[in-house]
Amino acid sequence: MNSAPSLTVLICTYNRAGLLKSTLAALSLCHAPVDCAVEIVIVDNNSSDATREVVATAAGMSPWPIRYAMESRQGKSYALNTGLTLASGVILALTDDDVLPARHWLSRIVDQFRAHDDIVFVFGKVLPRWEAPPPPEMLTTAARDIWGPLALIDYGDTPVHYDAATFGARRLPIGANLAIRREDVERVGGWRTDLGKVDNSLIAGEDHELCVRLYRAGRYIGIYDPEVVVQHFVPVSRLRRSYFRRWFYWHGRTMARMSGAIYHELDLENIPYVLRVPRFVYRELMQQTGRWLRRAGRSDALALLAEEVQLIDCLGFFRESWFGPHTSHGRSVALGSEPPTVTRVPSEKVS
Amino acid sequence: MTDVAVSVVVSTYNRADRLPLALESLIAQEGGVPYEIIVVDNNSTDTTRAVVEGLAVRNGDNVRYAFEPRQGLSHARNTGIALSRGEIVAFTDDDVRAAPDWLLQLKRTLDEHLDVVYAGGRVLPNWLEPPPSWLTKAHWGPLALQDYGGQPIRTGQERAMCLVGANMAFRREVFDRVGNFTPSLGRVKDGIGSTEDHDMQLRIWAAGLSGIYSPAPVVTADVTPDRLLKDYHRRWHRGNGRHCAKMRVRELVPTDVGPMSPPQDIVKLFGAPAFVYADLVRYAHLWVVAALSRDDTFFYANQLRHVWAYIQQSYCISPVESPIAALGEIRGFVTEYLRKRRRRQIV
């Protein structure tokens, strides 16, 4: 990509006008990448707060055009797909409404795409911006194992190249800080609308599942750049045990919903199913119960929580497999069987 | 040296005796932040130049001297901005001592709060003489001291809290967005009560941007004996009231450190909004209550001075030609006020 690229920042938002205001303020302070057209697309997923006004105000001070669109179908994936139809940039820079991008976020992304012709995505660190100082035990290495609920990423200070060979390594990007070629997202069909956060559920996985499809399309080529940094707001409520339990429960359900996608590489056709759940998940459930019971006797509260949430994760998997919307056999939710609907929504230019 | 992260701008006027202390504390900054010091000599007639150049010789590129013949702190600071190379421009005064981690903490504050464009910290007193008992924290304004406690506080449209310029850092693009310091509102020589910092922050807030107070960056300012005199405080409040009127602060920020409001539908009398007169009555009342309970009357007397100076200056901006015109103005004010009240009742 030696010619001047163009970039669209895509932010989906739902009732977070206050945080979104800070996100847009930080974005307006980002260094402008040299000769690269930047635009910002905000997809308002049916917010009932002052989101619209916040976007209108931000448009007045933004160095780049801001476009605003309303997506009335509730769900992060619907909003993302709508944003995809509106975006005109070659690069799609995804971030969230509770994230502050660092000063060099945009220019660094563009530099990476310029330097590497072949890459499809660039992602980087998602560091915490604590609402209140976290309890010290949250910062221990043991706690980091169960940091999933906080949606943070720090894979170290060395850049890492991603390709099909490293796909199994699991250190996936997340949508709070991911820049991706628009063309490739379109080619694989956008985001799956049965995944992605809806209102108060914590169903997620839309980023993860997109990566799976990129991998399948032979387009899982990217770079983890430690200099591409954003800060993710961590509210006090997310540091409570109840949130962790809830998150892992939904994580289990997400995994079950995605099972057709994620277990494909495990030669899914030959995995035996018992009552619509892969047999190895039963084994996992039993092992995890055992680990949890063994921990229960000791006094290490954090370790106990770690085992507990993984057990909850398993239970969520069963819950979704048996009673979820996709009660048909896990295998039938095959990839691409339900391509996301991408419809064009009239957008209005705010500025 | 193009990798300067922070430029420190120190404006100075005839303080060759105390300036070296300030500069030495700036030269001794720790924490590995690449920085430069720009001393802007605002037309001093003493040995300032020799003092700065003496230090510059010993510290290489780190210290630069600039001369600004146009008198005024705003001119000097603007010159400093023009010469600065860092992404962050920090300001401090010529009579302070910066903590060894001052710059590091300012930079860290801005790095951690990516959505704010300026940061300020604590300005603690170094009493050159023991302060009199009446001089409580409530009287710190005229001394340009600042301590809002141990928690960070955001300032912006929602909370228009003005931070003092002796300990402040701006992201460089702020000046492109909202302009430089305004010389007409700035301090000239030893004039007091100036509001260039306040004016800059008002413009930043009006542009929808915000700042932050952090307890971590600390400087210590000398408090000279003349600032412990009540007369100094009286003069400061009068001067500051007048400067505030020039900026029309009360129309933009009706209550102290409260939210900003768009200046619309304000009923005015002799150029000042009606609620400023209400403040006059309120402070007079509080002064009487304080006098009766042997409380701090001086504080309320100063508030009264401030409000009165505000009204005076507002009047100077739009004076009335004759007593008859004044009567007409009062009549207009009363009708307008009643109309607004009626409208509010309907709503």
Cβ contacts of A101 on chain B, cutoff 8 Å? 114
Residue type, A257: R
Distance CA B45, CA B36 (A): 25
The residue among A257 and B307 whose pLDDT is bigger is B307
Cβ atoms < 10 Å from Cβ of B283: 21
Of B87, B112, B115, the CB nearest to A22: B115
Question: What is the reported pLDDT for B248?
Answer: 82
- For residue A276, give the nearest of A252, A249, A256 by alpha carbon: A256
- For residue B75, give the nearest of B177, B180, B197, B171 by alpha carbon: B180
| β A273-274/A277-278 pair status | antiparallel
Burial of residue A272 (CB within 10 Å: 0-12, 13-18, 19+) is: exposed
**Smallest Cα distance from A125 to chain B, Å:** 14
**Smallest Cα distance from A126 to chain B, Å:** 13
Question: What is the reported pLDDT for A225?
Answer: 95
Residue type, B182: T
ipTM reported for the complex, 2 dp: 0.71
The answer to whether B157 touches B259, Cβ cutoff 8 Å, is yes
Distance CA B278, CA A105 (A): 49
The answer to whether B316 touches B288, Cβ cutoff 8 Å, is no
Residue of B nearest to A31 (CA): B173
- For residue B194, name the pLDDT band (cuts at 50, 70, 90): confident
Confirm or reject contact between A32 and chain B (CB < 8 A): no
Distance CA B119, CA B139 (A): 23
In the predicted structure, residue B1 carries a pLDDT above the cut 60? no
Burial of residue B275 (CB within 10 Å: 0-12, 13-18, 19+) is: middle
- CA separation, residue A70 to residues A7, A74, A81, A94, A207 (Å): 21, 10, 12, 17, 21
Cβ contacts of B208 on chain A, cutoff 8 Å? 25, 57-58, 60-61
Residue of A nearest to B154 (CA): A22
Of B87, B114, B173, the CB nearest to A26: B114
Quote the mean pLDDT of chain B.
Answer: 88
Q: What is the pLDDT of residues B287-310, one digit of tens each?
A: 999 999 888 889 999 999 999 999
**What are the b/e assignments for B162-185, b being 16+ CB within 10 Å?**
bbbbbbbbbbebbbebbebbbbeb
**Smallest Cα distance from B199 to chain A, Å:** 19
Dihedral angle of Cα A71, A74, A76, A82, to the nearest 10 degrees: -20
- For residue A165, name the pLDDT band (cuts at 50, 70, 90): confident
Distance CA A191, CA A198 (A): 13
- For residue A23, name the pLDDT band (cuts at 50, 70, 90): very high
Interchain proximity A61–B173, CB inside 8 Å: no
DSSP E strands in chain B: the ranges are: 6-12, 35-41, 63-67, 88-92, 96-98, 118-127, 153-155, 167-171, 211-223, 268-269, 272-273
- For residue A205, give the nearest of A218, A217, A194 by alpha carbon: A194
The residue among A64 and A279 whose pLDDT is bigger is A64
Of B87, B115, B208, the CB nearest to A26: B115
In the predicted structure, residue A252 carries a pLDDT above the cut 70? yes
Q: Output phi, psi for A47, to 5 deg.
A: -65, 150
The conformation of residue B318, written as its DSSP 8-state character, comes to S
Cβ contacts of B173 on chain A, cutoff 8 Å? 29
Confirm or reject contact between A112 and chain B (CB < 8 A): no
Question: What is the reported pLDDT for A258?
Answer: 76
- For residue B234, name the pLDDT band (cuts at 50, 70, 90): very high
Token pair belonging to B243: 């400067």
Interchain proximity A29–B207, CB inside 8 Å: no
The residue among A14 and A164 whose pLDDT is bigger is A14
Interchain proximity B208–A231, CB inside 8 Å: no
Interchain proximity B207–A103, CB inside 8 Å: no
B106 SS3 class: helix
Interchain proximity A26–B209, CB inside 8 Å: no
Residue of B nearest to A98 (CA): B115
Token pair belonging to A110: 């563009």
**DSSP result, B150-166:** SS-EEESSSS-PPPPTT
Distance CA A266, CA A279 (A): 13
- For residue B338, name the pLDDT band (cuts at 50, 70, 90): confident
Q: What is the H or E stretch that residue B54 is in?
A: helix B48-59
Interchain proximity B114–A231, CB inside 8 Å: yes
Where do we find the tokens 């949430």?
A309
Interchain proximity A129–B209, CB inside 8 Å: no
Contacts with A57 (C-beta within 8 Å, 6 or more apart), sequence order: A21, B208
Q: What is the mean pLDDT of residues A76-91?
A: 94
R_g (Cα) of chain B, nearest Å: 22
Interchain proximity B115–A100, CB inside 8 Å: yes
**Smallest Cα distance from B250 to chain A, Å:** 23
The residue among B221 and A262 whose pLDDT is bigger is B221
Tell me the pTM.
0.79
DSSP E strands in chain A: the ranges are: 6-13, 37-44, 66-70, 91-96, 99-101, 121-130, 160-162, 177-181, 222-234, 273-274, 277-278, 348-349
The answer to whether A55 touches A22, Cβ cutoff 8 Å, is no
Cβ atoms < 10 Å from Cβ of B323: 8
Of A58, A61, A101, the CB nearest to B114: A101
**First-to-last CA distance in chain B?**
62
In the predicted structure, residue A263 carries a pLDDT above the cut 80? no
Interchain proximity B208–A26, CB inside 8 Å: no
In the predicted structure, residue B251 carries a pLDDT above the cut 90? no
- For residue A257, name the pLDDT band (cuts at 50, 70, 90): confident
The answer to whether B166 touches B73, Cβ cutoff 8 Å, is no
Interchain proximity A25–B210, CB inside 8 Å: yes
A234 SS3 class: strand
Least confident of A5-19, A30-44, B165-179, B263-277: B263-277
- For residue B92, give the nearest of B15, B176, B4, B154 by alpha carbon: B15
Q: Output phi, psi for A177, to 5 deg.
A: -155, 75
The conformation of residue A33, written as its DSSP 8-state character, comes to P
**DSSP result, B180-206:** S--GGGS--TT--S--HHHHHHHHHHH
| β A66-70/A37-44 pair status | parallel
Cβ atoms < 10 Å from Cβ of B77: 26
In the predicted structure, residue A151 carries a pLDDT above the cut 90? no
B322 SS3 class: coil
Of B115, B171, B208, the CB nearest to A61: B208
Token pair belonging to A76: 């992060």
**Smallest Cα distance from A61 to chain B, Å:** 7
Token pair belonging to B166: 């002796």
Residue type, B7: S
Dihedral angle of Cα B200, B203, B205, B208, to the nearest 10 degrees: -140
Cβ contacts of A61 on chain B, cutoff 8 Å? 177, 207-209
Distance of CA A248 to the CA centre of its chain: 15
Least confident of B87-96, B105-114, B180-189, B233-242: B180-189
In the predicted structure, residue A22 carries a pLDDT above the cut 80? yes
Token pair belonging to A111: 């530099």
Q: Which residues of B touch A (CB under 8 A)?
A: 87, 112-117, 171, 173, 177, 207-210
Confirm or reject contact between A25 and chain B (CB < 8 A): yes
- For residue B193, name the pLDDT band (cuts at 50, 70, 90): low
For an interface test with B, which of A24, A27, A29 has the most B Cβ atoms less than 10 Å from its Cβ? Answer: A29
Confirm or reject contact between A22 and chain B (CB < 8 A): yes
Interchain proximity A25–B177, CB inside 8 Å: no
Q: What is the pLDDT of residues A301-346, one digit of tens each?
A: 778 888 888 889 889 888 888 887 754 443 333 334 444 455 544 4
Interchain proximity B114–A58, CB inside 8 Å: no
Interchain proximity B208–A57, CB inside 8 Å: yes
Interchain proximity A60–B117, CB inside 8 Å: no
Distance CA A278, CA A264 (A): 12
Taking one residue from A and the other from B, the number of pairs with CB-CB distance under 8 angstroms is 31
Cβ contacts of A60 on chain B, cutoff 8 Å? 208
The answer to whether A228 touches A124, Cβ cutoff 8 Å, is yes
- For residue B326, name the pLDDT band (cuts at 50, 70, 90): confident
B286 SS3 class: helix
Burial of residue A216 (CB within 10 Å: 0-12, 13-18, 19+) is: middle
For an interface test with A, which of B112, B115, B159, B260 has the most A Cβ atoms less than 10 Å from its Cβ? Answer: B115
Interchain proximity A100–B114, CB inside 8 Å: yes
Cβ contacts of A18 on chain B, cutoff 8 Å? none
Cβ contacts of A26 on chain B, cutoff 8 Å? 114-115
Cβ atoms < 10 Å from Cβ of A163: 15
The conformation of residue A146, written as its DSSP 8-state character, comes to T
Cβ contacts of A103 on chain B, cutoff 8 Å? 87, 114
Confirm or reject contact between A61 and chain B (CB < 8 A): yes
Residue of A nearest to B117 (CA): A29
